[in-house]
């Protein structure tokens, strides 16, 4: 079966972000960018399905600016067969991305679409669910284990309080949680080979979608700073402070 895997270019998760002085957004100039960590897990799962002989072709897709092709090349180096770039310089929110991805799903007709559960920039956790809705597919979100069984996808989901297993009728959409797998690193020869793999570029207009959002970002500000605390010298002092100063224990 064909697997489509969506990836997003985001700020590297180790970077301490800065808010622009005018409060319009987060400052992304000269900041290290990378593939969203949950998307790495999605690519890894798609490649493992191929290695198991379940998937026959893995297609990586992204929606975003031209620079996002770097992340598609990373996906190709990790084992995806080809890539599709929906190029847009606009701010694309989850619904817009889901609409563009839905058109790609229509063209490619994959049996399984894998996304990360959330992007670490917007922290939305929406795109996979929205894509499932727009394509009329069932969704297996926050997956920590998956198994393809004929026409059914079994997904173990991480829910509050434990794990839930659901069976989905294929074609389906799933989103990855952290414990699904441990992503591999791209090897140098694979990075070289990835440069020759096909990468198609499309625009939202060519796909016939409008990626603009009903949301307006009015302001971005740093969170309230916590007041610097004190170091205590002993457990006795700690207990005393908690009882008498902070009054959080009796």
Partner 1 sequence: MSILVLAEHHDGQLADATAHVVAAAQAIGGDIDVLVAGRDLGSIAEAAAKLDGVARVRVADSEVFAHQLAEPLADLLVSLADDYSHVLAAASTTGKNVLPRLAALKDVAQISEIIAVESADTFKRPIYAGNAIATVQSGDALKVITVRSTAFDAVAQEGSASVEAVDAAVDNALSSFVGEELAKSDRPELGAARVVVSGGRGMGSGENFKILDSVADKLGAAIGASRAAVDAGFVPNDMQVGQTGKIVAPDLYIAVGISGAIQHLAGMKDSKVIVAINKDEEAPIFQVADYGLVADLFEAIPELDSKL
Binding to partner 1 in span 211-230, by CB under 8 A: 213-223, 226-230
Measured between alpha carbons, how far is 69 from 221 in angstroms, rounded to an integer? 30
Least Å from the CB of residue 31 to partner 1: 11
How many chain residues interact with partner 1 (CB under 8 A)? 78
Of the residues 2, 87, 108, 138, which one makes contact with partner 1 according to CB under 8 A: 138
Least Å from the CB of residue 88 to partner 1: 16
Segment contacting partner 1 by CB under 8 A, of 10-18, 59-67, 106-114, 198-206: 10-18
Q: Contact 26/19 with Cβ under 8 angstroms?
A: yes
Of the residues 31, 67, 167, 201, which one makes contact with partner 1 according to CB under 8 A: 167
67/163 with CB nearer partner 1: 163
Measured between alpha carbons, how far is 40 from 21 in angstroms, rounded to an integer? 32
Q: Can the peptide bond before residue 171 be classed as cis, meaning omega within 30 degrees of 0?
A: yes
74 binds partner 1 (CB under 8 A): no
Of the residues 29, 30, 189, 248, which one makes contact with partner 1 according to CB under 8 A: 248
Least Å from the CB of residue 86 to partner 1: 17
Listing DSSP states for 91-159 in one string gives: ---HHHHHHHHHHHHHHH--SEEEEES--TTT----HHHHHHHHHT--EEEEEEEEEEETTEEEEEEEE
123 binds partner 1 (CB under 8 A): yes
- Residue 248: Cβ-neighbour burial (10 angstroms; 0-12, 13-18, 19+): exposed
69/118 with CB nearer partner 1: 118
Measured between alpha carbons, how far is 167 from 147 in angstroms, rounded to an integer? 10
32 binds partner 1 (CB under 8 A): no
Bridge pairing between strands 152-159 and 139-149: antiparallel
For the chain, how many residues are written? 250
48/241 with CB nearer partner 1: 241
Stretch 177-206: interaction string toward partner 1, x if CB under 8 A:
xxx---------------------------
């Amino acid at each position: 079966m064909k697997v489509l895997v969506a990836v997003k270019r985001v700020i590297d998760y180790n970077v301490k972000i800065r808010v622009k002085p005018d409060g319009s957004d987060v400052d992304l100039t000269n900041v290290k960018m990378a593939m969203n960590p949950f998307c790495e897990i999605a690519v890894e799962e798609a490649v493992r399905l191929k290695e198991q002989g379940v998937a026959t072709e893995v297609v990586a897709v992204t929606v975003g600016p031209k620079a996002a092709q770097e992340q598609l090349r990373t996906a190709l180096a990790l084992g995806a067969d080809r890539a599709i770039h929906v190029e847009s310089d606009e701010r694309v929110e989850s619904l817009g991305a889901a609409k563009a991805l839905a058109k790609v799903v229509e063209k490619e007709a994959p049996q399984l679409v894998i996304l990360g559960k959330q992007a670490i920039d917007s922290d939305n956790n929406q795109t996979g669910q929205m894509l499932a809705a727009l394509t009329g597919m069932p969704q297996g979100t926050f997956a920590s284990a998956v198994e393809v069984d004929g026409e059914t996808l079994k997904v173990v989901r991480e829910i509050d309080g434990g794990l839930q297993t659901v069976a989905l009728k294929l074609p389906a959409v799933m989103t990855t949680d952290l414990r699904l797998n441990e992503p591999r690193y791209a090897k140098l020869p694979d990075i070289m080979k990835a440069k020759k793999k096909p990468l198609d570029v499309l625009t939202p207009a060519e796909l016939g979608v409008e990626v603009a959002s009903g949301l307006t970002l009015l302001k971005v500000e740093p969170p309230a700073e916590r007041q610097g605390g004190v170091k205590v010298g002993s457990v006795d002092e700690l207990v005393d402070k908690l009882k008498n100063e902070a009054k959080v224990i009796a």
